[in-house]
Amino acid sequence: MHLTDYRITESDPHKKAILVADLVLKDLYKPKFEKMEIVNELGYTPRLDNWQKLNIMPGGAKSEVFDGIVKTSTNLNSDPVDMLLTCLKLGISTGIYGLTLTNLLNDIILGEPAIRPAKVGFKVIDTDYINLMITGHQQSIISHLEEELTKPEVVKKAQAVGAKGFKLVGCTCVGQDLQLRGKYYTDVFSGHAGNNFTSEALIATGGIDAIISEFNCTLPGIEPIADKFLVKMICLDDVSKKPNAEYVEYSFEDKDKISSHIIDTALESYRERRPKIKMNIPRNHGFDDVITGLSETSLREFLGGSWKPLVDLIAAGKIKGVAGIVGCSNLTAKGHDVFTVELAKELIKRNIIVLSAGCSSGGLENVGLMSPKAAELAGDSLKEVCTSLGIPPVLNFGPCLAIGRLEIVAKELAEYLNIDIPQLPLVLSAPQWLEEQALADGSFGLALGLPLHLAISPFIGGSKVVTKVLTEDMTNLTGGKLIIEDDVVKAADKLEGIILERRKKIGV
């Protein structure tokens, strides 16, 4: 579905963009009793039928969120099943609008991802440049800054203080998004350093001169590290405001003024701190050949314009199934990225190809699992597939927003096979979830009918009813279910078991 063609006949691209924005905002701000319309355009028909049957088609998302919060207040809703159905409804809103639709709109504004090799880890830092660490989720907010940093007059300003120019160093999801579209930003984007918890160590290398935060995923606690290493911080949205950061409210009308201020601040920071700070960049951290730029479109094109080659590999047993490992990192699930990495290794060893999006991607690429030579860690048949295609056994779809891309892949695979999504040999895991957003995304996965594994319980153990509904009864509602397992091998066993069961049911 092309959203820009949805009831819009305007040919001028700028006027069309305004009409599309108005359409989306109108849908989001409808009252609860009016159902959002774009859900019907982006959703998969068998899923829409299921959601209609369960009465979880969302009304205006803003109203649904408001009512959902009210429901959790003291002395109000006390029906746990109703609350869980509300979570599914909010999950649909999150998935269709916050994930899938956001990706489609970003592709129009910023360019579609293209598959390519890229550099990751701390080795991306080039100390000859003024390095701006970017954190957040909304690349569109810094797109004007990206353009300004490469202008000759701005580069001359950097040269006047002893640098070669400016570089953006990716950290958290906006870095993943830049990496995804990296072919458009080769002059200014040095590479993606890592996920949320990596940001602490990244600042401590001494190679970062300023931090630009435009939305969430700016890790609380980095303030004293930034102060110690004399790194100036600017927040462009108050949701990411830090006590030691300057708040500069972003507006499109003031983009020139804002970008100019960021550049001047970075220049000042570079002048002040470089003579005082000793830098220690671990050049052996990361890889030079991570495969990035995957999307539902670029992957399909890589396969020759059809999902048939992937389906044929699955049908032949060369690839047993697909596992989406997504979401955050969390220090309590074995440590920073540990469960995520170990689970990915266990699954590819069993010939299950892994797709990743979110902070999980940052961890998986920094240990080499998204480099082609990681094929050596896969089972014999998956290794053969990866070697012949020149791809890694763990595919990088980018930021956590790209979980919406995985949904599109699932939808298109189901359409190709003429089955419903819960029938696919496809499983999800968000082993080290941390953010509230991860639970919203997980609710979308359950609404899609996918089994969802978590290594850390989402605070449901106090209710037998809630636990039973999510881990058992959900299968009869949407086809999905929650799996809570904090042992890597046991988690892999359960996910593989579901894949094998689904393969058997569809006759492969």
Nearest Cα to Cα of residue 341 among 242, 466, 223, 194:
194
Is the CATH number of domain 122-273 3.40.50.2030?
yes
Q: Please report which helix (H) or strand (E) contains residue 29, including its range.
A: none
What's the start-to-end Cα distance of the chain, in Å?
A: 30
**Mean per-residue pLDDT, 284-307:** 96
pLDDT of residue 46: 98
**Mean per-residue pLDDT, 104-128:** 95
Q: What is the pLDDT of residues 161-187, one digit of tens each?
A: 999 999 999 999 999 999 999 999 999
- Please tell me whether residue 326 adopts helix, strand or coil conformation: strand
Structure tokens at 190: 């040095």
The total number of residues written for the chain in this structure: 508
**Would you place residue 4 in the very low, low, confident or very high pLDDT band (cuts 50, 70, 90)?**
very low
CA–CA distances in Å: residue 81 to residues 239, 370, 425, 449, 466: 32, 40, 28, 17, 7
Which residue is it, tokens 């069309």?
Answer: 16
Whether 122-273 and 291-505 share one fold: the answer is yes
Cβ atoms of 280 and 205 closer than 8 Å: yes
- The answer to whether residue 66 scores a pLDDT higher than 90 is yes
Which residue is it, tokens 């266990």?
Answer: 346
Model confidence pTM above 0.75 = yes
Nearest Cα to Cα of residue 213 among 225, 224, 201, 222:
222
CA–CA distances in Å: residue 465 to residues 73, 137, 230, 471: 20, 36, 52, 10
Q: What is the pLDDT of residues 241-284, one digit of tens each?
A: 999 999 999 999 999 999 999 999 999 999 999 999 999 999 99
- The answer to whether residue 51 scores a pLDDT higher than 70 is yes
Nearest Cα to Cα of residue 471 among 482, 486, 455:
482
- The answer to whether residue 61 scores a pLDDT higher than 70 is yes
- The answer to whether residue 10 scores a pLDDT higher than 90 is no
CA distance 308 to 413: 9
CATH T-level topology, domain 291-505 = Rossmann fold (3.40.50)
Q: What is the pLDDT of residues 434-449, one digit of tens each?
A: 988 899 999 999 999 9
- Burial (0-12, 13-18, 19+ Cβ within 10 Å), 246: middle
Nearest Cα to Cα of residue 170 among 206, 198, 145, 129:
198
Enumerate the domain spans of the chain: 3-110, 122-273, 291-505
DSSP assignments along 58-69, one per residue:
-B-HHHHHHHHH
Q: Look at 422 and 8; give whichever has higher pLDDT.
A: 422
Q: Please report which helix (H) or strand (E) contains residue 374, including its range.
A: none
**HSE value, Cβ hemisphere, 13 Å, CA-based, for 249:** 2
- The answer to whether residue 2 scores a pLDDT higher than 80 is no
pLDDT of residue 215: 81
- The answer to whether residue 129 scores a pLDDT higher than 80 is yes
Cβ atoms of 165 and 149 closer than 8 Å: yes
The amino acid occupying position 282 is P
In the chain, % of residues over pLDDT 70: 99
φ and ψ at 286, to 5 degrees?
110, -170
**Would you place residue 220 in the very low, low, confident or very high pLDDT band (cuts 50, 70, 90)?**
confident
Q: What is the pLDDT of residues 357-369, one digit of tens each?
A: 999 999 999 999 9
Q: How crowded is residue 275: how many other Cβ atoms within 10 Å of its Cβ?
A: 7
pLDDT of residue 334: 94
